Structures are given as structure tokens and as C-alpha cells.
Structure 1
Amino acid sequence: MANDRGFSLNSLVEILKASAEPTRLRLLVLLSSGDLTVSDLTEILGQSQPRISRHLKLLAEAGLIERYQEGAWAWFRLLRDGESAALTRKIIESASVADAVITRDQARLVQVRASRAEKASEYFSQNAEGWDQLRKLHVAEAKVEAALRAMVGARPVDAFLDLGTGTGRLLQLFEGIYRSATGVDASREMLAVARANLEKAGLAKATIRLGDIFNLPLESETYDLVSIHQVLHFLENPELALAEAARMLRPGGRLVVVDFAPHGLDSLRSDHHHARLGFSHQQMSDWLEEIGLDIVEVKDLTPETAGEALTVTIWLARDRRIEIAADSAPAFSATSRRS
């Protein structure tokens, strides 16, 4: 579509034609602030849903935005990668923020997001008591986050994936090191909380997706860093989730897992729906080894409180394919786990 010196004439004309219409340009400006639904855009622009949908279709066909499904809802976002993404950003940045129409759209966007945040906050408040009780059983989150930051380091990554993203906290924690990020969760209610938190933080480079951790709606080998934070103990077959996470890694990519060390609090099964009572170093090592990952570092965080307290363990592993490829090509093909 584009060569080293720019776009072909036809490609450039198609991109400019797609964006050179008032409603479509307004849509692009709005989507530059984050993902939005047709319903959101209809409410903000005050136009009919068929009209908005038609404009979105034209923008998608021109390769300026993309559409993804979340249950019955269709979400739209700007393309972050590809040949037209940079040009789209330049077009958006050329629009004056002082323009009366854009100013009005942004004000309505704030109202839509405020309404969404209110609903998310209501859900979070209703469930906060149970989460707070569980937090009291293990080391403080601040300590876990500090250890996570130290273990992952400050080296920039291109793409970050957080599985079971919950409130989207890790998307905020690592915002300084990634160019783009995706948070996936199976709960629509938690996704609403995460979206509200990301919008409040102004994190437009992170997006949220509804998805099954065992069958992710994402392309293989897309991410440099993948995290699974306090999710595996809810799963009957956590090793399958680890394998799916490994499928997402680019060669040499890293997986960081945060979960409980083995414990005897059987009440967590009934009170908090835990399927597993923690994971040993050996068990996690065996699972990661089987899916082609080498453990780089392991850290146990023991709470200072006495009694029935849970130790949190962090495992950092790396995809070994680059090392194998450096030794010999046949070894890589024999060990490859992506097919």
C-alpha cells in the first residue's frame, strides 16, 4: 500500500476520501480518545444508528479503524499499526481542539464516560467487600506491584497483554513501558470497571476485550509481554491457560504470572470459588517447561501478619525460541509449540 517514500496515489486518495467528510472526521477524533460503541457514538453525535454504522463501515474499509465484537456490542477503535495509522493520527491532530463541533463532541463524550463509570463503580462497590476480605489474607498489593515492576524492568516493549485484567490495574502499572496494550477478561461487568479506570487515567493506548482465557480472540505471537495476575487459582485446568498465554508470545517474549503459593485455606473454595489452593515452584516450572518457556526469576512475597496468611509468588518466564534458533534451525522446528 505504501513504499519507503509514502503512499501510492490511489491509496492516499482512498484514505483522504474516507476521512474527508464531517461526520467521519468527527468519528476519528472521538475514537482517538479510546474505544467506543455504536451506541456511544450515536448518543454523542446525535445521529441515527444506521447513519453512524454506515460511516464506520466506510472508515473500516479504508483501513482507518477496526471493529470487534463483545457479546451483543460492537466496539470500534483506531488502527494503531499498519501503513495508514500514522497518517490517520496526523489528520486527527490537524483538527483544532477549539473547533465548536469538536468541543461539543468532547463534552458529550465526557458525559457518556461519566455514565459508564457510575455504573462500573456501582458494580465494584457491590462486590468490594468480598475482594477486601481476600486482600487481607495476603501481602499488600503495593508490595506485589513493586516486586512486579522490579522483575519486569523498565525496558520498553511494543505490545503488552494482560489476561484476566479485572480492573485494568496492570495496564496502568506498566503504562510507561509499552507502546500498546490489551486487557482481556471474561466478565462484562469487570470490563466496564476496567474501561472506566483507563478512561479516567487517559490511557488511550490500552484497549479492553471480552474473551475466554482458554481461547483468546487474538492473533498468535503478537505480544512481547503477557501477564496473568491472580487468575490461575480460579481455573480447573490452569496449564491450558498458560499454554494459551504462551501462544500469544513473540519469540523471546516474556510471561509473568502472579498467584498464591500452596496453602491450606480450603474455605477459599466455597467462599471465593478458588479451584486451586496455590501452586508450587515445581508445578509451575513443569508447566512452563512443557510449553516452551524458561523460568527467568521467581519471587515469594510473604505477608508480615501472623496466622493464616497467604504467600504470593511471582514467576517470570521467557520464550526460548530465539535461543534455540541461534543454536540450530532443526532444534527450533522440533521444539516449536505453535501450529
Structure 2
Amino acid sequence: MASVIFSSDELVELLKAAGEPTRLRLLVLLASGDLTVSDLTDILGQSQPRISRHLKLLAEAGLVDRYQEGAWAYFRLKQDGRAAELARTLLAAVDVGDPVVQRDGERLGSVKRARAEKAQAYFSQHADEWDELRRLHVDDTEVEAALLKLVGADPVDSLLDLGTGTGRMLQLLSENYRRAVGVDASRDMLAVARANLDKAGVLKASVRLGDILNLPLDGGEFDLVLIHQVLHFLVQPELALGEASRMLSPGGRLVVIDLAPHSLEFLRDEHAHVRLGFSHSTMSEWLSRAGLEVEKIVDLRPAGKGPQGLTVTIWLARRPAAAAQSAA
């Protein structure tokens, strides 16, 4: 905190925002992940208008973030900025053994367990079809190992996972990034992702509802963007690549993981695949049109999967720093 300096007026306003019992309890709870007004009402036992008013004051002070997901508004502790650093300092001084904090934590645990049970019910309902697809292509562990090797050990400041699904990529790369956002068009899948992130204790990633072709985010914010097994569901995958490129900061990288060309027509009819894989040349052309330079392509061929085995391809591309700066 020594490097963060506030004027006396700024500091007073921030401390006024955080220095109220209910608002401090809200900050403690939001440090544990994304929660709705309804969640917080259940935990704190206060009325929805009262909780909403407190959250509005915290958001105006720059201490929490708010984002919309359909009819629901989610809140989380702000991750960046001077006010966020002050909030982390204040929260580090909170006695976790305080009876009120402990009681709130127990109720938060109940909310997260209910969330996990609902997510698991959805996941179990679709588990058979996901397992069928996994049996066709190379093992997930091999794909994940190749991804980690491509990404490398250098720290990632900001990660964006498009079509995050179960949030697996956010968990896998959690040691690499400082902050991350996962976007998905399915509220059910977002519930699964939130439950998985809660279970794994990943607090620096959040997920939100969004259209991969029209992302609810400012451009140029991320230095690593992932699109994992999503493009084959899209009628115009190249548009998603253009939107992903828009999200990249100068010199940022895009990783696309998808299927190589194949002839398994049943995937169209039974699993909603629009595209039966992508060739090196097609994907490279699209990435080039999106203003990206392909740096590496890795093919992962299945062993022992028979004639219906599917090859998984990973494309690594980069947004040139000079081009990105001139475009800005």
C-alpha cells in the first residue's frame, strides 16, 4: 500500500464508503467471488433495497464491480485500481474469527453449496453426450499439456476465455494470470463454471453472460485470449476471431483450440456442430484477416480411437504491437 497515495478528500470518501458495518461485510463476502443481490440478501438477512443501496455506494466509490446477466446483476470486489488496493488492505485487517464474519461465511457456504448442486444437476444431465465426444478425440490431458506448453511460464496480466463452458481453462491457467474473465452464452454453463471456480478456490477469475460475436467488454484489454472448442458451433467463425482480435492488447496472443477437418456427419445432427473442423489454411487465412500473425500450429492426433478419431488442432497467433498501436 505504501506506493498508493490518496488526497485527504479521496481517502475520507473511500473510508466512508467502506467504513459502515454492512458495507464492510459486503466487501468481505465479495472478496470470495461473484454474488447477486439475492445471494447477499439471503446471507445478511437484510432487505433487497437496503443491500442494493449499499452496493450502489460501493460501486460509485470504485470498490466493487457490477455486471448484468439477463435479469440478474452480479457484483464482485474490484480487481484493479487504487481503490481496489485500499480495499485489499482493509480486508487483510479484518479478523476472520469475528462472530459476524464467521456467520456470514457459513451462510455464504450454504449459498455456494446450493449453487453447486444446481450446476451439478445440469452437468449430470448432459454428461453422457460430453463423454461421447471426449471418447472421439485426443485425451483432454494431452490437449491441456500442449496448451500450457504453448502459453509458457511468463505471467499473463489479463486472460479472456471465450465460450468458457465449465470454466476449465480458467482453472487450468489460474497460476499464469493475474486476472481473468470467462464469457459464455449459456446461463446454465455459467452456473457450472461459477461452481467449479468456487470449488477450486479461484477468486481472480469471473464469468459473465455474453455473445462471442458482440462481447460486452472494452477492446484492447487482454494479453491472452482463448477460444476452446467453440468455433465449430458457429455459422461464421471468422467473425468470432475478429471480435477476439479486438479484445487483444498490443502484442497480445490468441489461442484457438478446435477440431481438424473430419467427416463425422452425426456431429451436425446430434451435437449441433455447424462446421466439421478447420484446416490449417482456412484458419490461418481468417486469423490473418483479423490482423493476427500465426506463430505456431500444433496437431494432436488421437491414438487408438479407430477410424472415427478426431484430431485436435491448436493455433497460436499474435496481434502485432506496431499494427495494434497504429490502429488505436
Q: TM bucket by the smaller chain?
A: over 0.9
Alignment-derived partner of residue 259 in structure 1? 258
Gaps of 5+ in 1: 326-331
Structure 2 unaligned spans of 5+:
none
TM-score, normalised with respect to structure 2: 0.98
SS of the aligned residue for 1:159 comes to strand
**SS state at 2:118 partner:** helix
Deviations 1:263-320 (A, max 9, x none): 0111110010000000000001000111111111100000002211110000000111
1:289 equivalent to 2:300? Answer no
Secondary structure, in 3 states, of the residue corresponding to 1:131? helix
Aligned residue for 1:214, secondary structure, equals coil
Aligned pairs, how many?
Answer: 327
Q: Deviations over 1:78-118 (max 9, x none)?
A: 11111111001111111100000000000000000000000
Task: State the match for 1:328 in structure 2.
Answer: none
Identity of counterpart residues, as a percentage? 64
Match of 1:314 in 2: 314
* Residues 1-339 of structure 1: pairs in structure 2 closer than 5 A: 6-305=5-304, 306-322=306-322, 324=323, 333=326, 336=327
1:265 is paired with a residue whose SS is coil
Cα distance 1:141–1:52, how it changes in 2: closer, same or farther (>3 A)? Answer: same
- What is the rounded CA distance, in whole Å, between the counterparts of 2:289 and 2:241 in structure 1? 10
Distance in 2 between residues matched to 1:95 and 1:176, nearest whole Å: 26
Distance 2:210 2:121 in 1: 23
Aligned equivalents of 2:113, 2:76: Cα separation in 1: 19
Query: How far apart, CA to CA, are the structure 2 residues paired with 1:149 and 1:35?
Result: 27
In the alignment, residue 160 of structure 1 is paired with which amino acid?
Answer: L
Q: Secondary structure at the match of 2:82?
A: coil
Specify the SS of the correspondent of 1:158.
strand
Measure how far apart 1:321 and its partner are. Answer: 2.9
Is the 8 Å Cα contact of residues 4 and 82 (structure 2) preserved in structure 1?
Answer: no
Pairwise CA RMSD = 1.4
Aligned 8 A contact 2:260 2:310 in 1: yes
Q: Give a deviation string over 1:153-192, Cα, whole Å, max 9, x none.
A: 1110100000000000000110111000000000000000
What is the DSSP-based 3-state SS (H/G/I as helix, E as strand, rest coil) of the residue aligned with 2:75? strand
- TM superposition shift of 1:5: 6.1
After TM superposition, which residue ranges in structure 1, 4 or more long, deviate above 4 angstroms? Answer: 2-5
